[in-house]
Amino acid sequence: MAISIKRLGAGDEAILEFLALHDAEFDLGDCGAPQTPLEPEKAKRFLEHSDVLLWVAFDEDKTVGFLQCNVVFLRSSNGQELVLYEIGVHRGWRRQGIGRVLLNQMETWMRENKVDTVWVLADNQEAAEFYRSSGFEAEHPQPVYMLCELKLG
């Protein structure tokens, strides 16, 4: 296994599309389904945004994992933190340290950019164990995850 990591940027639309179409292979066994790739203009905007951080892991030429963080701007403290929005390692490549390599990449970015806090919503027990093994701790009391979806036109 020869793992390399790339932060996606302008021109990486094909990788973004691959991740969308193969979403289920990076999710839990009973979750995930092919996603609709972003339209070209939205993909370009996503890839060029400096506050969207998407690292992808390759085993030679195979795409085997990804981690997306977004910068959250704060009105106080040091002004910004990260939300670890999503991580997925391909089913065939789990428990081989790829998730940890992706987290290391994120941590390197945090040190270089003087961002000391990252938070995540762990949505399953295995992921929670993974985060715990890498230094994340659950806060108490726990917040309640709530959603509001508008019907647009």
Ligand X SMILES: CC(C)(COP(=O)(O)OP(=O)(O)OC[C@H]1O[C@@H](n2cnc3c(N)ncnc32)[C@H](O)[C@@H]1OP(=O)(O)O)[C@@H](O)C(=O)NCCC(=O)NCCS
Question: Which residues contribute to the site for ligand X (CB under 6 A)?
Answer: 26-28, 87-89, 94-100, 122-124, 126-127, 129-130, 133
Least distance to ligand X from the beta carbon of 13, Å? 23
CB-count exposure of residue 39 (10 Å: 0-12, 13-18, 19+): exposed
Contacts of 57 (CB under 8 A, 6+ apart): 3, 4, 5, 63, 64, 65, 66, 89, 98, 101, 102
Least distance to ligand X from the beta carbon of 93, Å? 7
Closer residue to ligand X, CB minimum distance, 38 or 101: 101
Q: Which residue is nearest to ligand X, using beta carbons?
A: 99
Least distance to ligand X from the beta carbon of 132, Å? 8
